[in-house]
Amino acid sequence: MFQKVLLVFFSLFAQLFLGQESLKLMSYNLLEFPEANPPNRELILKDILDTYEPDLFMVCELQSGFGGNLILNSSLNDTDSRYASATFIPNQSGSADLQQLLFYRRDKMTLEAESVVQTNVRDINHYTLRLHTANGSVNPIVLEIYIAHLKSSEGGSNQNERLNMVEAFLSDTNSLNPDAYVIFAGDLNLYSSTEPAYVALLDPSNFITMADPIDTPGAWSNNSNFQGVHTQSSRISSGPFGAGAGGGLDDRFDFILVSENLLADPDLHYLEDSYHSYGNNGNCFNLSINDSACDGTYGESLRELLYNMSDHLPVIMQLETDETIVLETPDVVLQGILQLKSTLIPQQLELQFPDNGTHEVVLYNAMGLKIAEHYFSGRENAVWDVSYLPNGFYLLKDVSLPRSKAIKFLKVSI
């Protein structure tokens, strides 16, 4: 019996205190979304996103607000409403008709501001997000996200256009807090680490110094030595799709760059080895991503989805924080069959059950000790008064089902 109690204690303790919270990022050029072939690509995108479930989803080549709504409602919020999107802003720079947009987990963060940085080619979108952390009033964690689609193609004039766009981004960062956490992501259309735009981005004399998390300098384009980081093209031929590039995987065009403080800051930092060209097993040089020769950790079904979705591959990475992220959206937390309408609790728990059966729900304190239990019967929605509890973390578990998982919540003062 004593061993069983210890097992429960350490299991609950681990859920509360061990490990760090993480944020999953994905940047993806969606290729003329939603009009490019094949039709109904929002469903293909849904299946791709289901394999990674990003907390921050940054997209390029969005044609319209309608396309943004398709992504939000059909690709991300197909089973719940945990995601929100920033405002779709038609391009204000030049005549380009392809836009960027941010989607984010609204239970984990709040969008506090959004703006555009105008350039000679297309806008760079800037978003400010604040994480929902238990210590947020004392130690707020704020992310400054920039999404860009730099000028395409080789040649000196195009390189200069890319440099001009990067300089507009860097100028905008001069108004930020010098310790700001900054992400610069998107389709940067860079061919090598010696290109002026890339050199400017990583210039250590910048007001905010940026870094490439994988630190892989070189001539990336059409170079098999860098096949593990290539992101375009996922297709040998664009013919069947009527849009995009062909030629197979041989360019590193898509990036997620971070401010240098994100490489080491304990409050928020890059998770080592989490940066990848999603779907690229490092053996697909000049091939379509769905080629059988490209098999590996990323399986055939995912690579087939990526092939049909876009001529680009997504780029992914993770950030970690020592702070506790508190889910705040009323309709998100799902553990087993028991749901809480919120995990930030001032007075009462609002529970949701999927059926009208009898459920025994047990409350544990932060030490893993059982402090209360309650039976709920014949109700899909129920309320449990916990206003008497001291502030702090607690665990809630529906013990009626052996495979149910505990839900962590934070009791706070009004």
Domains parsed from the chain with CATH numbers: 2-16+325-411 (2.60.40.3080), 21-321 (3.60.10.10)
257 within 8 A of 212, measured Cβ to Cβ: yes
- Going by C-alpha positions, the residue among 313, 67, 375 that lies closest to residue 187 is 313
State the Cα–Cα distance between residues 232 and 312, nearest whole angstrom. 5
Q: Rounded to an integer, what distance in angstroms lies between the CA atom of residue 215 and that of residue 213?
A: 6
Query: Which residue has 């779907």 as its token pair?
Result: 279
Closest by CA to 261, choosing from 180, 175, 319, is 180
The answer to whether 385 and 378 are in contact (CB under 8 A) is: no
pTM for the whole structure:
0.80
Q: How far apart are CA 23 and CA 131, in angstroms?
A: 10
* Alpha carbons 227 and 302: distance in angstroms, whole number: 18
Between strands 348-352 and 338-340, the pairing is antiparallel
- List the chain pLDDT tens, one digit each, 414 residues: 444 444 444 444 444 444 478 999 999 999 999 999 999 999 999 999 999 999 999 999 999 999 999 999 999 998 888 899 999 999 999 777 899 999 999 999 999 999 999 999 999 999 999 999 988 888 999 999 999 999 999 999 999 999 999 999 999 999 999 999 999 999 999 999 999 999 999 999 999 999 999 999 999 999 999 999 999 999 999 988 989 999 999 999 999 999 999 998 989 999 999 999 999 999 999 999 999 999 999 999 999 999 999 999 999 999 999 998 887 754 444 444 677 777 788 889 988 876 677 888 899 887 778 899 888 876 567 899 999 999 888 888 888 765 567 788 888 876
CA dihedral 330, 331, 333, 336 (to 10 degrees): 140
Look up residue 296 and give its two tokens: 């590996």
CB 229 within 8 A of CB 220: yes
Q: How far is CA 276 from CA 20, 209, 211, 273, 308, in A?
A: 20, 22, 15, 8, 20
Q: Which tokens is 239 given?
A: 């013919």
Give the position of tokens 């995987």. Answer: 249
